[in-house]
Chains A and B, each alone.
Chain A
Amino acid sequence: METKAAKPAAPAKVRAPKKRMTKEKRIRYFKDNSPYLLMILPAVIVVFLFNYLPIYGVLIAFQDFMPGDKILSDSTIWVGFENFERFFSDPQFWPLMKFVIGFPLPIIVSLMLNAMKGRKTAKVLQTIFNGPHFISLVVLVGMLTLFFGRYGLVNNIAAHFGGERYSYFLESSAFRPMYILSSNWQDFGWSAIIYIAALSNVDPQQHEAAILDGATRFQRVIHVDLPAIMPMVSVMLIMSIGGLMGVGYEKALLMQTDGNLAVSELISTYVYKRGLTGVPDQAYATAIGLFNSIINVVLLIIANTTSKKFSENSLW
């Protein structure tokens, strides 16, 4: 994150040749760090077992695989990229390429909470905003039904004033707003925590200096708070973009009806259905999942490179 001007005129760096650790040094290194290595060991084991070992399973994306088959055996039928080709020509391919974004809301909330005069009020509000995060998805979708179902609150009010009843769950056009807004409502407070933590590191003297300079409360948010959390915003944005294609299937499945299927079918729900329901086609589902992961990685790299170029902030 250094600017060009920041670099003092230093003599050209000569990279010293990498020295290999001697055996004694390696033993001493492990002895010295043994408590820390022991502490990290369970995490390494868990990550290896549950994140790295299953990668082996992606091989079935390149096979004509049926449940019960061994992944690697003499009878394995390798089909190359056939499963991928099927997916690209699947009528579901383009409808599945859609993004769900509710990114700026937590930033705005954190800035507002931070700028509030009454610390007690801010804390109470923060607690209230965090509450919905702890509601389970099933309950949340149940609440949506109570509000937006054919006989839900919204329709009851509309009917009271002479309007027609209208089931939002059967309309494709209502699915995305309901999905996105309810997700934002559920998580904006929780997601704001990281920004509130970043804002707590802002030197209060910067605010005081801005007050003396004549900055209003809003100008202080723009000129002091927002720049202070920009590195965090960049990191979170990069991570959000990297996870754009990884929207979970649970909520979409819960909200899915035949009426909104055209938009409620996400990659994850499609993978679930093809891989685990009806006549399972696990090879095909794995190919879609793998494709999804590759897209995520590509998006992550693009977002990281762009951020590095324009804001000097990046994940790596």
Chain B
Amino acid sequence: MSEVVLKGLKKVYDNKVTAVHDVNLEIKDKEFIVLVGPSGCGKSTTLRMVAGLEEISDGELYIDGKLVNDVPPKDRDIAMVFQNYALYPHKTVYDNLAFALKLRKEPKDVIDKKVREVAEILDITQYLKRKPKALSGGQRQRVAIGRAMVRDPKVFLMDEPLSNLDAKLRNQMRAEIIKLRSRINTTFMYVTHDQTEAMTLGDRIVIMKDGYVNQIGTPQEVFNKPVNLFVAGFIGMPVMNFFDHCQVLLENGKYYAQIRGVKFLLDDFQQKALAQNNVQPCEIVAGIRPQHVTVGEGELTAKIEVSEMMGSEYNIHARSGDDEVVMLIPTVDLTADVSMGKTINFTTRPSLIQLFDRESGNNLIWYDAESAAKDAPVCKRYDF
């Protein structure tokens, strides 16, 4: 069992800057949790507090049921992979892998066995005698992962381990980490600013901004049920389309979303949720994902500015009034003319429209005041 529990974790630096506010998180045994957010959101600081590299200003941290706030890093039974690999440049790969075990004064034969086992798993056996400078970025990152693996830790921490790699190698290493995870089967905390990494690797994703946790959920949840404008804009590629100055209308006991004068009757679930939240007719920001746009039908119109043929789909940048609309349109069964300069009709399924309060930026359906971070700043826009 290696659960990690963060209770009201807070980090205040000496200059009174609060980097992390009241983070509450329960990471289950063998769960892969990803902390994601823009630069300066506090994700790395949170990870470093778990590692013991940053002092915890307030709150409690439990690893495997034990309060570890004041436990030195080496005694927390954790291992960490750093962004810059942090390999010892003067030591060979073998010595890098063996270093922690040597410090623990483990017998030489045990060290040798563990190092070779890990090297075998990571396919770096042939590089054991090399020094880090003689390895490629991907190989170095494997050694860094191997150095963490030999310690057989309860919790595996990774701080943007792929951000120094080029796009191709990053994809490759991402797949390696997924495979590795199934092999070593332990608890992972992974920090990244890349939402693709977060979506593909995490069992659950923690989305942070300005030191506050905005949402915790599975990749599906954060994609389909974003609690506020920031999460909606941060998760998903291309970014969600936002239509400002739209309305939620209540007519004859039925809720409608009105976008650019076009009314959409919301589905039963949305009706129920809005009624339950006692939502009154108001101005909203409507969000529609590019993947959820259908062209050639509906009453909304847009003029195509750029039309990129990607093979299986068109990537269209169009303008609808003041708003730029991005659409991902599958080429299969596409009958509409989507060439540049054309004006097209488009629509979406009402159930896929996200409704955000203009004042608070919160999702009128999915925002849960009880689980939301207290005192978190209002997020009216998705920019970051």
Contact = CB atoms under 8 A, between A and B. Distances in A.
Pair from one complex: yes
Contacts of B52: 211-212
A228 B86 CA distance: 13
Contacts of B89: 227-228
Name which of A3, A208, A209, A214 has the most chain B CB atoms within 10 A of its CB. Answer: A209
Contacts of A212: 51-53, 73-74, 78-80, 100
A215 interface: yes
A213 B134 contact: no
Interface residues of A, number: 22
Name which of A2, A214, A223 has the most chain B CB atoms within 10 A of its CB. Answer: A214
Interface string B104-121: 100000000000000000
Name which of A211, A224, A230 has the most chain B CB atoms within 10 A of its CB. Answer: A211
Contact of B80 (A5, A209, A224): A209
A215 B103 CA distance: 7
Contacts of B99: 210, 213, 223
Given A5-B134, A223-B88, A224-B88, A214 B79 contact: no
Contacts of A219: 103
Interface in B79-131: 79-80, 82-84, 86-91, 99-100, 103-104, 129-131
A219 B103 CA distance: 9
Contacts of B80: 208-209, 212
A219 to B, nearest CB: 7
Contact of A211 (B73, B83, B84, B129): B73
A209 B53 CA distance: 10
Contact of A208 (B53, B91, B134): B53
B53 A214 contact: no
Interface in A211-264: 211-215, 219, 223-224, 227-228, 230
A5 B73 contact: no
Nearest to A211: B73
Contact of B103 (A2, A7, A214, A230): A214
Nearest to B102: A213
B160 to A, nearest CB: 11
Contacts of A214: 74, 100, 103-104
Name which of A211, A212, A219 has the most chain B CB atoms within 10 A of its CB. Answer: A212
A206 interface: yes
Nearest to B89: A227
A6 B131 contact: yes
A3 B86 CA distance: 20
The dominant DSSP class at the A interface is: helix
Contact of B84 (A5, A203, A213, A230): A203
B66 interface: no
B349 interface: no
Contacts of B91: 223
A205 interface: yes
Contacts, number: 70
A258 B8 CA distance: 78
A2 B134 CA distance: 8
Given A212-B73, A212-B78, A212-B80, A203 B86 contact: yes
Nearest to A213: B100
Contacts of A2: 134
A228 B52 CA distance: 25
B133 interface: yes
Nearest to A208: B53
A67 B346 CA distance: 103
Interface in A1-32: 2-3, 5-7
A226 B83 CA distance: 23
Contacts of B82: 205, 208-209
Contacts of B74: 211-214
Contacts of A6: 130-131, 133-134
Contacts of A206: 86-88
B225 to A, nearest CB: 36
A220 to B, nearest CB: 11
Nearest to B148: A212
B88 A227 contact: yes
Contacts of B104: 214
Nearest to A205: B86
B103 A213 contact: yes
A217 to B, nearest CB: 12
Given A214-B103, A214-B104, A209 B130 contact: no
A224 B88 CA distance: 7
Interface string B60-85: 00000000000001100011101110
A3 B131 contact: yes
B137 to A, nearest CB: 14
A151 to B, nearest CB: 52
Name which of B86, B90, B100, B130 has the most chain A CB atoms within 10 A of its CB. Answer: B86
Contacts of A224: 88
Contacts of A203: 84, 86
A228 B87 CA distance: 12
A7 B78 CA distance: 35
Contacts of A3: 130-131, 133-134
Contacts of A209: 80, 82, 86-88, 147
A193 B73 CA distance: 32
B52 to A, nearest CB: 8
B103 to A, nearest CB: 5
Interface of B: 51-53, 73-74, 78-80, 82-84, 86-91, 99-100, 103-104, 129-131, 133-134, 147, 151
Given A3-B133, A203-B86, 5 more contacts: A209-B80, A212-B53, A215-B103, A223-B88, A227-B88
5 contacts: A3-B130, A5-B129, A214-B74, A214-B100, A227-B88
